Structure 1
Amino acid sequence: MSISKRGRPRAAYHHGNLREALVDAAFALLDEGGADAVTIRAVARRAGVTHAAPANHFADRKALLTALASRIFEDLSREISRRLARAGDGLEARLRVFADAVLRFGLASPHRYRLIWRWDALDGADAALQGAMDAIYDCLIAELSVQGSEALDPHSRAIALWSMVHGYVSMRIEGNLVPGRDKVTGEPREKAIVTALLEGIVPRR
């Protein structure tokens, strides 16, 4: 670690990993103050580089935020895959893996969760972002396609599940809902609403 001219510690980085240093700095700012705290100047200052240095890797703030959102979706996708590898073969159990992973992530990392849906701040046409998001959706579609429903196609059921989970997380992190438990089953509310939805999604044999 070196000391900047202003007397603040400056994190050293080696040639070739400036992009990662900038991403790390951006995530630190995001976790502290949300997307609005992530600016090119703030990231450069946190990474200990000149204000012009980020331009070598990110054309503008939108490109930087898009890179963060892509990384978040990739991390969430890996977590879902890791959990699915340990889940059973039953559709309900595997859909719960998806719902639980998104719920846990959103409630634990609200600033990161808000960012991935900030399409006003992201480049929706970015291939990496689209690919990372599609990987999760395609995984969900694949699970629903294995055990189909004669009443609805996999996309309708996938959208229903994702929309419900997203709505609950959004309302929780914005303070519109408070934690609670189902008075019948005793389950935490976030698990109970998944149970309620799956009763209509999972085919009953």
Structure 2
Amino acid sequence: MLKIENLHAEIDGKPILKGLTLSVNAGEVHAIMGPNGAGKSTLGYVLGGRPGYEVTQGSISFDGENLLDMEPHERAAAGVFLGFQYPVEIPGVSNVQFLRESLNAQRATRGEAPLSGAEFLKVARAQADALGLDHDMLKRPVNVGFSGGEKKRNEMVQMGIIDPKFAILDETDSGLDIDALRIVGDGINRIMRQP
């Protein structure tokens, strides 16, 4: 599914990744650990296509396609999901609107019809229920005023709704207490078992 060979990447001229090679097959879970500054977040950003991260050497293929030739939205459409260490707030955009547009954009790239508002709400509520996210939070602006645990649960709801082929989750435990960590971990396991 994902094959990284001799990947070198830098930001602002500073080398961060220096020859990373990694293969991830479908259905596998990999945990990458290391000290601060080792390049864990950089790897996620490179895979997601974040601007400012320059690949200077090596290759990344995803489902047989050259990931480095794709723009970030094309990577998302191909099934790559990037969960952030610190999910951003998007004032003025309701969570439900953001999620519906995201899902329907994915469906359009797969040649599927968009979900109606009612169809989408059914999906969103089911995902929110599975992760203990209050339905009222779906109406609020994306992550605005959310606690760390709520942001991570919201991100897992996003992942469950979009149902990517491949997810990169950057420091999933950041800002979580033990109960929230358990809920998010259970959510990841549940999403992995989705057909």
After TM superposition, the score normalised by the length of structure 2 is 0.22
After TM superposition, the score normalised by the length of structure 1 is 0.22
Whose RCO is larger (CA < 8 A, sep 6+)? 2
Higher radius of gyration, 1 or 2: 1
Higher helix proportion: 1
